[in-house]
Amino acid sequence: MSQPAPHVIPYTPRPLQWRFHEERSRFCVLLCHRRFGKTVAAVNDLVRQALRVGRDDWRAAYAAPFLGQAKAVAWDYCKRFAGAVPGTRFLESELVCVLPTGGRIRLLGTENAQALRGLYLDDLVLDEPADMPRQVWTQVLRPMLADRQGRALFCGTPQGTDNLLYDVWQQAGADTQGLWSRFRFPASETGYLPQTELAAARRGMDEAEYLQEFECSFAAAVRGAYYAPLLDAAEREGRIRPLPHAPELPVHTAWDLGMDDATAIWFFQVEPSGCWRIIDYYEASGEGLAHYAQVLAAKARPAGAADSSMPEGSLAGRGFVYGTHIAPHDIRVRELGTGQSRGESAAQLGIRFVMAPALSLADGIDALRRQLPRFWFDAGACAQGLKALRAYRRRWRAGAGQGAQAQAGSGPLHDWASHAADALRYAVTGFRPQQEVAPGARRARTNYDFFGGN
Ligand SMILES: Nc1ncnc2c1ncn2[C@@H]1O[C@H](COP(=O)(O)OP(=O)(O)OP(=O)(O)O)[C@@H](O)[C@H]1O
Ligand SMILES: [Mg+2]
């Protein structure tokens, strides 16, 4: 094994690139505006690591969505920066850079990452993971890091929420072990692109496109999104993060009860200051009420206690003491088969719902939008619900244009995202502060209680 040599790479990191190099952890997400210098920073981070570690069996990969792209964006940087270290060799046909320590950096495209199975990696860069299939990370690349506890860096510009970049951004935000770190550098804060250039870009782009490419907005790609911009703000303000359950406060639930559809449940706590702590989310479909009653019971067990009666091992006890359970007013409707309403069926299972008032959808959405700035979310437990909230958007009239008038009155789209959005809307419209109960009380009794305290 050769000694690490004091080589100088001809690279002067910009201040925020420097911050990234110094503060990154084993897994890192670097979310930046276009032309920030992500690729330059990523390549140099690999070169520096190779030289620091100094092992001749050190192996790293720089992955772009396609091999041609990896070559076009990173091979010249490898040559410029690693090439300045005496003794570095470049294997052109394999796109491998061999440093004088013996460490190797290989360029690859995720379109042929399967070919790597069986190898190990000490270090990895995924450049633009929003364009990569998720399984390439979970099934191919992540396992290659396991032998040697290799590092991984994800760097890119947001492209909406249904992709690997958003997933790992959320994962990093939810991490409490110090394994993950994440950085968000929008153009308005870095100052790396001249104002005149940004102004020109802005004139030539849709506002949403501009926010995505230069301001690191995940919301922009979801056209007509109701809540995504507010969730971007929550993210910026640090309100989506690991958020423990506050044992001194009751946990309220708000439900969207699907018949053949999915059922979504938010778990939240309301602080005396009026801030809401949204601490958990559960969604399933094709299950009866008994299943959800079991989920609630599992979460009410002492923290950490597993419930062996639940099929999902993930439902560890959280020590929840429940306050109010809120459901839409249609739980009063009697079902044909049983002649019983779902509210009554739930009460037999120990869940006594209060009903959210029958507001119009538009009023409910407005109410939730007004409240969202006071919400804090647990990034991990609420990840699935947050994703749906971000994706909840307007329906577009067939043949309508893309202008603002075309959106007017077209209403929300009913899709996979609407259950989470509806349930949180009921939370806001149905919750009354006087329903707060002390922990230990089994149920809230209020004049909203549909079952009239029986
Ligand atoms: N530390 C630095 N000092 C000087 N120039 C730099 C530095 N870092 C990056 N650059 C220059 O900034 C430009 C953009 O760099 P890079 O390709 O790494 O950006 P990017 O964020 O990956 O962009 P894209 O969004 O297009 O992928 C390049 O011309 C690069 O040479
Ligand atoms: Mg790049």
d(C-alpha 129, C-alpha 202), whole Å: 25
Residue 435 pLDDT class (50, 70, 90 cuts): very low
Residue 34 CA: nearest ligand 1 atom is: 25
Q: Which ligand is nearest to the CA of 187?
A: 1
> Rounded to an integer, what distance in angstroms lies between the CA atom of residue 329 and that of residue 128?
45
Backbone angles phi, psi at 322, to 5 degrees: -85, 150
For residues 207 and 404, the answer to whether their CB atoms sit within 8 Å is no
Domains and CATH numbers, the chain: 15-221 (3.40.50.300), 241-396+404-435 (3.30.420.280)
Q: What is the mean pLDDT of residues 441-452?
A: 36
> How far does the centroid of ligand 2 lie from the alpha carbon of residue 218, in Å?
18
Report whether 292 contacts 393 (CB < 8 A). Answer: no
Encode pLDDT of 130-166 as tens digits: 989 888 999 999 999 999 999 999 999 998 888 899 9
pLDDT digit string, tens, across residues 386-407: 989 988 888 755 444 444 444 4
Lowest pLDDT segment from 49-63, 140-154, 314-328 = 314-328
Q: Which of 16, 29, 38 is nearest to 188 (CA)?
A: 16
Host H or E run for residue 417 = none
Q: H/E element holding 27?
A: strand 27-32
Residue to probe by mutation, ligand 1, list 11, 20, 34, 35, most atoms within 8 Å of CB: 35
DSSP symbol at 4: P
Crossing angle for the helix pair 164-174 and 383-391, to the nearest 10 degrees: 140
pLDDT in the model for residue 181: 97
SS3 call for 379:
coil
Q: Closest residue (by CA) to atom 8 of ligand 1? A: 37
Residue 156 Cα to ligand 2 middle (Å): 7
Please give the average per-residue pLDDT across 284-294, as a whole number. Answer: 90
Q: How confident is the prediction for the chain on average, in pLDDT?
A: 86
Least confident piece of the model among 110-124, 310-324, 344-358:
310-324
The residues pairing with 326 across neighbouring beta strands, listed in sequence order, are 254, 354
Q: Which atom of ligand 1 is nearest to the CA of 13?
A: 1
Ligand nearest to the CA of 34: 1
Residues 423 and 265: their CA atoms lie apart, in Å, by: 6
